[in-house]
Amino acid sequence: MNIKDAALYSGLPAKTIRYYDEIGLISPPRDDNGYRTFEKTELHQLVFVAHARALGFTIEDCRALLMLYKDDQRASADVKRIANEHLKHIETKISDLETMRDTLSHLINECHGDQRPDCPILDNFRGRD
């Protein structure tokens, strides 16, 4: 199977798959013509990475997870640790964004939003002297 079909199968753009190859995340074998070939093993890895990326794991996380995925002797504790660290990152990001959201929506509510130049949003950004 060539890259286009691998892209269709995995849901990843072909460009992204080439990029993953370039950084050594996956290493599909090449045909005599230089084309990358994708069979079951490669397709599974692509789907795996696609899933992990969809959950927000970084490429380096994916690299580590992929190692564990390929290792039949892995301990599930290793996977759980990586996942837990990532979960903490996600939770931090969520609460940061919630703070932003609350502040911003408060400011928006205060703002008339009409033709007048008076604007509490800008006033707030200005800070006090």
Residue ranges that bind DNA, judged by CB under 7 A:
2-5, 13-16, 18-20, 31-36, 53, 58-60
What is the DSSP track for 17-44? HHHHHHTTS----B-TTS-B---HHHHH
Q: Which of 25, 47, 59, 64 binds a second copy (CB under 8 A)?
A: 47
**Count of residues interacting with a second copy (CB under 8 A):** 53
Instruction: Examine residue 77 and tell whether it contacts a second copy (CB under 8 A).
Output: yes
17 within 8 A of 46, measured Cβ to Cβ: yes
To 10 degrees, the CA torsion angle through 84, 85, 90, 92? 120
Interface residues with a second copy (CB under 8 A)?
44, 47-48, 51-52, 54-56, 65, 68-69, 71-77, 79-81, 83-84, 86-87, 90-91, 93-94, 97-98, 100-101, 103-105, 107-108, 111-119, 121-122, 124-127
